[in-house]
Amino acid sequence: MKNLFSLKGKVALVTGASRGLGFAMAEALADYGAHVVMNGRHKKTLDPKVKALADKKHAVWGAAFDVADTDACAKAVADIVKQHGHLDVLVNNAGTAEYAPVTDYPLDMWERLIGIHLTGAFVLAREAGRHMAARGKGTIINIGSIAGPKIAVPMMPAYATAKAGLEGLTRALAVELGPKGVTANCIAPGYFHTELGGSLKEGEPPPDAAKAFYRMVEEHTPLKRWAKPEEIKGLTVFLASDAASYMNGSVIYIDGGMSVLQ
């Protein structure tokens, strides 16, 4: 029987794959047979992570660029198509968080966050989408968040706006590219232990200053714990695979139930 989840023959680009959720997703896609191009801003931190997967006999390449650089995004898609022949899966994951009170939120911080999370994702989706539409197949996975579309976290107005925007972008891509055989979906994570989410190793206690925050997340999550980065792998492989051939325009919350807790 055909393995519905096999990614053999597919080429994927995962942005922000030098650590955290992006690294976990790149590893999962490679585990299932995809050729994976891993992105991050810094070659110095990206290269060792690419090597770590290459050492496991995975087919992986590094492409260091800043997703806020729109020319670099367009070039990256063109380079992948030139080098690998095609691009089948785009995972728009790169992201950062910066905090300031909304009434003092600096405009440059706002523009930086929107540039990385939203404009970068749009340009990569536009470039990849054009290529995929011409081939009549491909899929785009945007990494949203529970924060923005479902809940709001104080001092993160740009992040919340960008993540809500990514859901809109996902729907826009789904309706326009769907007729051309290209799908777009959004994975919206809750709280995962990563540098951005709040990094703690399993069993490690939170620092005193952050104890209340860690407890708050646990209390507001029906599963009563934070997620581990590898818990995003299954959903990513599913959405990238032929098993998800009829998934289009969906936003899937992977948050231990946080978004449905009253």
Ligand X SMILES: NC(=O)c1ccc[n+]([C@@H]2O[C@H](COP(=O)([O-])OP(=O)(O)OC[C@H]3O[C@@H](n4cnc5c(N)ncnc54)[C@H](OP(=O)(O)O)[C@@H]3O)[C@@H](O)[C@H]2O)c1
Q: Is 42 in the site for ligand X (CB under 6 A)?
A: yes
Binding mask 136-155 for ligand X (x = CB under 6 A): -------x-x----------
Nearest residue by C-beta to ligand X? 20
> Measured from the CB of residue 142, what is the shortest distance to ligand X in angstroms?
9
We find the least distance from the C-beta atom of residue 213 to ligand X, in angstroms, to be 12
Residue 21 binds to ligand X (criterion: CB under 6 A): yes
Select from 29-37, 92-100, 102-110, 214-222 the region that touches ligand X (CB under 6 A): 92-100
15 binds ligand X (CB under 6 A): yes
The answer to the question of residue 196 lying near ligand X (CB under 6 A) is yes
Q: Which of 32, 99, 105, 159 is catalytic?
A: 159
Work out whether 40 is an interface residue with ligand X (CB under 6 A): yes
Considering the complex, what minimum distance in angstroms separates the CB of residue 8 from ligand X?
A: 26
Question: What are 33-36's contacts with CB under 8 Å, separation 24+?
Answer: 33/6, 33/7, 33/8, 33/9, 34/7, 34/8, 34/10, 34/59, 34/88, 34/89, 34/240, 35/10, 35/11, 35/59, 35/60, 35/61, 35/84, 36/11, 36/12, 36/60, 36/61
DSSP 128-176: HHHHHHHHT-EEEEEE--SBTTTB--TT-HHHHHHHHHHHHHHHHHHHH
Would you count residue 191 as binding ligand X (CB under 6 A)?
yes
Q: For 152, list phi and psi in degrees, rounded to 5.
A: -125, 135
Is 159 marked active-site?
A: yes
User: Tokens for 243?
Assistant: 């098993």
Nearer to ligand X, 230 or 242 (CB): 230
Q: Under a CB-based contact definition with an 8 Å cutoff, are residues 156 and 96 in contact?
A: no
Would you count residue 67 as binding ligand X (CB under 6 A)? yes
Helices (H) and strands (E) in the chain, counts: 8, 7
Does 83 contact ligand X by CB under 6 A?
A: no
C-alpha distances (whole Å) from 81 to each of 13, 85, 86, 88 are: 11, 5, 5, 10
Which of 7, 10, 14, 16 is the binder for ligand X (CB under 6 A)? Answer: 16
What residues act catalytically? 159
The contact set with ligand X (CB under 6 A) reads: 15-22, 39-42, 45, 66-68, 93-96, 116, 143, 145, 189, 191-192, 194-197
